[in-house]
Amino acid sequence: MRSINVYKIGGSVLQETRDYEKIAAILLRGNKMKICVVVSAMKGKTTELIDAFLTVCPKPDFWEFERFAGMGEVMSAQMFAAAFNALGAKSIAILPWMKEWPLFISLKIPRVLSREKINEKRDFKVMRKSTGIIAKYIMPLYASHRVIVFPGFIARDVSGRIVTLGRGGSDISALLFSELLRARELVLIKETGGVLDLDPRLHGQATKISSLDVEELGLLASSGSQVLHPVSLKHQDTLPRIKVTALDDNIHRRSGTEIVFKKKVVVQRSPLVYAVLTFIGNRIPETPGLLKKISSVLAAENISIYSITVSENLIALYIDQRYCKIAYTVLSPLVKREQRLKLLNLKKGIGKILVRSLKFINEPGIIKKIVTPIAKQGINIWEVLTAHTDVMVFVEHQDIEQTFAILQQVFKSPKSSP
């Protein structure tokens, strides 16, 4: 069903009680769609609740603490339902203890909530019964109700106990409800009106980005941005798009930042043959400016660095093999000039395969899933590098085609190359 829009209302736009009616009016204006609202607690409320509980009981029972911490979202859901009803749009708030509550999860490791407002990562799976409850209770409710409101941040576990999705979990809730309802679109309402190219708290000339592909959003979210909780993206399956927009009269238009989802897993082999230049030394991270010196030398020769690894005793640079001799020649003097560098080594004939997916965010065991079938075929892996949604596998170039075929089979990916 694609006749429902899901709106995620964050605490940043809920600063006072009058905001509930104001937001409800904006969502109804000119909107003929059925509406699902997933709501956070008012700004600062969850931290206030956590601090209050821990002051009274510094070592709380996990389940009592979880139930209490989500009360801010419950209050918000009830207030939004009241606001919609006051405006003549029949609405209902579905709360965790009601038979209609649909979001059930199996939580692997219970951990006490953080006092800080951060994106916590909890490992859980959505239970199958959630889909059944949506079909049995929630969809029939839309026959008689214009708006259904869910408190974000909250779920129930296999025993029916109230549990949270961790700090920042309302984003996860919004995407999960969008998936369960097979929504047409998830709209994230933000003060910024979209995704910005710079952090406005750190730079005064930030501008809005009109569109963002989902891989870029995944990198943005998993690198610490508060635009969207990174764990939410790994639960995307049927949702076609997300819009990040402002709370104004343009909310139903194509303003803001559009994110459209594409294929789930990309397996891509690079057409280049790489050479690896490895500096070996000691206390390398404690040498200010070393990377700048290396990159400046290569830039002067118009040589690009395609990947880089830094550890306590080495720096490995991946470059186009065609320029490896020039690169080695111009970098060699650094071994003599830099006290903490001892030698420079050159390795030729390396190939790279990129495996990319939002599902890799906070996904235990993904490296094992990638490297095990390669190792079983007797292929030596030169290096594996990870960066948020990306896993880069480097092998001898003579093994690149076989490795590519193995990973295509692992992820059932259509043939893909640049």
**Mean pLDDT across the chain, nearest whole number?**
86
Instruction: Output the pTM of the full model.
Output: 0.70
> Is 237 a residue whose pLDDT tops 70?
yes
Mean pLDDT of 171-183: 91
Residue with tokens 């020649």: 329
- Do 110 and 62 touch, CB atoms closer than 8 A? yes
**Cβ-based neighbour number of residue 131 at 10 Å:** 15
What percent of the chain has pLDDT above 70? 83
> Would you state the pLDDT for residue 204?
63
Amino acid of residue 114? S
Where residue 271 falls among pLDDT bands split at 50, 70, 90?
A: very high
> Would you state the pLDDT for residue 323?
97
303-340: per-residue pLDDT in tens? 999 999 999 999 999 999 999 999 999 999 999 999 89
**Cβ-based neighbour number of residue 294 at 10 Å:** 22
> Is 169 a residue whose pLDDT tops 90?
no
Question: How far is the C-alpha of 359 from the C-alpha of 237, rounded, in Å?
Answer: 10
> Is 173 a residue whose pLDDT tops 50?
yes
Q: Which residue has the higher pLDDT, 129 or 247?
A: 129
Give the list of residues 6+ apart from residue 416 with CB closer than 8 angstroms, or none.
266, 267, 268
> Is 116 a residue whose pLDDT tops 80?
no
> Would you state the pLDDT for residue 418?
44
Question: How far is the C-alpha of 333 from the C-alpha of 325, rounded, in Å?
Answer: 14
Output the CA angle 271-277-282, nearest 5 degrees.
145
> Is 417 a residue whose pLDDT tops 50?
no
> Would you state the pLDDT for residue 29?
86
What percent of the chain has pLDDT above 90? 60
132-153: per-residue pLDDT in tens? 999 999 999 999 999 999 999 9
> Would you state the pLDDT for residue 328?
97
Domain span(s) for CATH 3.40.1160.10 in the chain: 4-260
Q: Which fold has domain 4-260?
A: Carbamate kinase (3.40.1160)
> Would you state the pLDDT for residue 234?
64
365-413: per-residue pLDDT in tens? 889 999 999 999 999 999 999 877 789 999 999 999 999 999 999 988 5
Domain span(s) for CATH 3.30.2130.10 in the chain: 266-411
Which of 3.40.50.720, 6.10.140.120, 3.40.309.10, 3.30.2130.10 would CATH assign to domain 266-411? 3.30.2130.10
> Would you state the pLDDT for residue 94?
98
Query: What tokens appear for 94 in the block?
Result: 């579905």
Half-sphere exposure of 332 (CA within 13 A, CB side): 8
Is the CA virtual torsion 241, 418, 267, 295 positive or negative? Answer: negative
Which runs of E-coded beta strand occur in 216-340?
241-245, 257-260, 266-269, 274-281, 307-310, 314-320
